């Protein structure tokens, strides 16, 4: 497998049309065994998945807060404010897609169906950015209700490590596939933001749940996966979507999926599947 120098660049934010938005992620510097294995005992994958739950809750709460702010902006008939809140809400959502499509597919469709969506984020996007209409409160109320339902479910839903590994592989493949072909948030012009947040979500989930276990079992392969994740992030760390090298991004995403398939048996899991059905 190809190798690259370890990249320690941490993204500080995303700028869109002069507005800076936080990437809202908890560090890109691969804090490995130190915090998780402070007592010298390697946590199980189940325990690591439980640690990841807190990050998921934070991201979905971030998306929900953004959606509520967006509704307040609409009530004030403030279109720029509503657009900004929509973009900010997307950050938490896109980071959580490692989880959403495989664990809660029905809610995932209600919240983020695309293309040609009339509901969820993209139904609201069509009004705010497409039609320039600040009043999408009916659609936003439904979006908020679905996000609230997801936030409630997230507190108790079992987080099986195998399904989370499937989610990482599935999202990596999607970023290098149909999202690389132009992205999903075309009307808002924030498709690149989506992919950057996806890549951050992939890095977060892998680091929190799987990185230490693989590093303990096969350090060389663990380093290869870490490098591959970082290269995926670098491929989308650009300022404009037109700068995206789609072929390079596809190659990076496919390499990551391949490495995850090789790594899975090393940590006692099956090779990740790209199927999106809940189990």
Supply the pLDDT for residue 103. Answer: 96
Residue 278 maps to a domain: no
pLDDT of 14-23, one tens digit each? 333 333 433 3
Residue 63 maps to a domain: yes
CB-based contacts of 65: which residues, under 8 Å, 6+ apart? 89
pLDDT of 83-128, one tens digit each? 999 999 999 999 999 999 899 999 999 999 987 888 999 999 999 9
DSSP state of 110: H
Residue 230 maps to a domain: yes
Q: At what angle do helices 246-263 and 219-235 cross, to 10 degrees?
A: 160
Residue 183 to residue 249: CA distance in whole angstroms: 13
Supply the pLDDT for residue 1. Answer: 34
Residue 99 to residue 198: CA distance in whole angstroms: 11
Domain tally, the chain: 1
Mean pLDDT for all residues in the chain: 86
SS3 annotation, 203-271: HHHHHHHHHHHHHHHCHHHHHHHHHHHHHHHHHCCCCCHHHCCHHHHHHHHHHHHHHHHHHHHHHCCCC
Residue 77 maps to a domain: yes
pLDDT of 151-193, one tens digit each? 999 999 999 999 999 999 999 999 998 777 766 788 999 999 9
- CATH number for the domain that contains residue 117: 1.20.1420.20
For the residues 254-275, what does the mean pLDDT come to? 96
Q: Which domain holds residue 74?
A: 43-267
Residue 32 maps to a domain: no
Residue 19 maps to a domain: no
Residue 197 maps to a domain: yes
Residue 279 maps to a domain: no
Bridge partners for 14 per DSSP: 21
């Amino acid at each position: 497998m190809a190798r690259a120098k370890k990249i320690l660049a941490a993204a500080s934010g995303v700028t869109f049309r002069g507005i800076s938005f936080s990437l809202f992620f908890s560090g890109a510097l691969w804090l490995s065994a130190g915090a998780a294995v402070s007592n010298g005992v390697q946590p199980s994958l189940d325990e690591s998945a439980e640690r990841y739950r807190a990050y998921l809750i934070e991201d979905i709460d971030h998306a929900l807060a953004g959606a509520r702010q967006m509704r307040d902006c609409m009530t004030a008939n403030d279109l720029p404010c509503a657009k900004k809140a929509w973009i900010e809400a997307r950050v938490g959502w896109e980071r959580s897609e490692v989880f959403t499509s495989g664990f809660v597919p029905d809610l995932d469709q209600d919240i983020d169906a695309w293309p040609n969506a009339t509901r969820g984020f993209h139904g609201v996007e069509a009004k705010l950015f497409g039609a320039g209409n600040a009043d999408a409160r009916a659609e936003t109320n439904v979006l908020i209700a679905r996000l609230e339902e997801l936030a409630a479910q997230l507190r108790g839903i079992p987080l099986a490590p195998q399904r989370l590994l499937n989610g990482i592989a599935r999202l990596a493949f999607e970023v290098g596939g149909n999202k690389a072909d132009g992205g999903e948030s075309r009307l808002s012009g924030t498709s690149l933001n989506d992919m950057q947040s996806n890549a951050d979500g992939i890095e977060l989930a892998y680091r929190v749940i799987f990185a230490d276990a693989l590093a303990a079992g096969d350090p060389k392969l663990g380093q290869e996966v870490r490098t591959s994740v970082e290269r995926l992030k670098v491929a989308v760390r650009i300022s404009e979507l037109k700068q995206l090298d789609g072929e390079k991004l596809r190659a990076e995403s496919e390499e990551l999926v391949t490495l995850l398939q090789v790594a899975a048996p090393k940590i006692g899991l099956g090779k990740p599947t790209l199927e999106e059905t809940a189990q």
